[in-house]
Structure 1
Amino acid sequence: MENFRLSDQDRATLQFKVTTKLRELILKGEFKMGERLTQEEWAKNLGVSRMPIREALRQLEVEGLVRIEPRRGAIVTPISAEDVEEIYQLRALLEGQAVLKSLPFLDDEDINELERLYEKMIALKEDEKDMEEYMELNAQFHHILREGCPWRRIKGFIDTLWKGIPSYTPSVLSHHLKEAHEEHRLMVEYAKQKNGEKLKEVTENHILRTRDNLLKMIEKSEKIDVE
């Protein structure tokens, strides 16, 4: 396996960098199902202490990418193509409906905040350095879009789905940010126009496009593993 050590510059946002690196390696198929990740080994590989490795593994357990077992440590449980299909299909169905129901309750302040978040996202560079901020802004953007929905159960279901891989997808699909920027621009525009059907449509397409890109990445990693 290649050298994955983090540079001194990376340590400025150490916790995020460690988690991002391990997540990326898992999603790209660097580990086999059931492979054990030890804190000592990965602290050495990345040139960090065990603490950020421990915290990263806890976060990856929340995302469903590892399973922490007593006396065995973290066991890799890569997200499968079927997992991606399920998560993103559900997100598209639920979030599309949520933004449709939410739009009548969004006021000018909400719309202005959506525009502000969009402007901040497009101003960021498409590199790992800015990904942490981008992911936070992206999560806030989508939260505002659905926050006005009066159906509390659907919002609860969506929040549960966001606790896994969706929050961190931009970190492994950063080369697709231009597509996301255009979709976010359209979301802001349709929100301004109070066009609920168009907002629902672009939100669903945005989520399903992300699904398709993740599936392509998983398929590619599986082919490399077979070869």
Structure 2
Amino acid sequence: MTRDENAVDEQPTRTSGGEGEDALARLAGRHATGYRSVGVMAYDIIREAILDGTLPPGHKLRQETLAESIGVSRLPVRSALIQLESDGLVEFHDRRGAVVKSLSVEQAREVYHLRILLETEALRSSMGEMSDARLERLRMLGRTADAEQEGADFVEARTAFYAELYDATRRPIQWELIDQLRLKVGRYMLGWRLVGDDAHQHSHDELTDAVAAGDADAAVELLRHHLEGVRDGVLDMLAAESTAGPAPATGRRRSGR
């Protein structure tokens, strides 16, 4: 399966020590222009580093190191970490300070149970009010997501597809709940495209076709099948990591959806 959050064919890459700091500095270089606020820049850089695995679950987030790598003072870094805590990506401990939040197998299973319930209902509701204009945007966004291979651009394209699919503009509270659940299990896995089985390779087009045909049952079944496949891959990964520990930092895995 493709790791549209699905099966696992290779161990996730871990970065450590100076390698992680160098990767963070490269991210900072890409984000260094176009910001009116260093706080927003620090937040975007750290968030992307968590989502793409540069800062993996359990990684200790030292404010001095982050500030030096990004090229800002500690204050915007501290503010960014507080915001990321509210996003569910970072947690603070009395003795360890801030760390990238980890997820247990049990928590991931619960998250996907809730996602399936909420997202299938969101899809049915949205299809009842689907317009030709929205359908056209949906197909364009799906193809954009399929064209992206990894990292932040893929995550953004995929998020935009599902925001349109679930009519986030008209149902902002529902979308906020869905997005929060996606982030809870997504973290660094959210940006990975798993390889090994092509069962979900064209899921965006297939899902859009079912929506265009007005076949709610078929669309919901495709979505459910996709989320269940994603869930099983994530659970396998988390179970393996809980027994084997972090994989060595060699190479990069392909990013997924």
TM-score tier, shorter chain, comes to 0.7 to 0.9
1:166 to 175, 183, 192: 183
Structure 1 unaligned spans of 5+: none
In 2, the alpha carbon distance for the partners of 1:117 and 1:148 equals: 14
Assess if the C-alpha contact under 8 Å between 2:89 and 2:184 holds in 1.
no
Greater helix share, structure number: 1
Query: What corresponds to 2:124 in structure 1?
Result: 100
Question: RMSD in angstroms over aligned alpha carbons?
Answer: 3.5
In 2, the alpha carbon distance for the partners of 1:64 and 1:170 equals: 9
Query: What corresponds to 1:119 in structure 2?
Result: 143
Distance 1:55 1:148, change over 3 A: closer
Q: How many residues align?
A: 213
Query: What corresponds to 1:39 in structure 2?
Result: 63
Task: Tell me whether 1:13 sits opposite 2:36 in the alignment.
Answer: no
Query: Aligned-pair distance for 1:162?
Result: 1.3
In 1, the alpha carbon distance for the partners of 2:243 and 2:162 equals: 33
Residues 70-120 of structure 1: CA deviation (Å, up to 9, x unaligned): 897425542222221111111111211221232121011111000110121
**AA aligned opposite 2:241:** S
Task: Please state whether the residue corresponding to 1:162 is helix, strand or coil.
Answer: helix
Query: What corresponds to 2:8 in structure 1?
Result: none
Task: Please state whether the residue corresponding to 1:6 is helix, strand or coil.
Answer: helix
Task: Please state whether the residue corresponding to 2:220 is helix, strand or coil.
Answer: helix
Sequence identity, in percent? Answer: 22
Query: Aligned-pair distance for 1:166?
Result: 3.3
- Range that drifts further, 69-78 or 197-206: 69-78
In 1, the alpha carbon distance for the partners of 2:237 and 2:124 equals: 31
| 1:67-216 correspondence runs (5 A) | 67-68=91-92, 73-75=97-99, 77-124=101-148, 126-127=149-150, 131-147=151-167, 156-166=173-183, 169=186, 172=189, 173-176=191-194, 180-216=200-236
In 1, the alpha carbon distance for the partners of 2:108 and 2:91 equals: 18
Distance 1:217 1:62, change over 3 A: farther
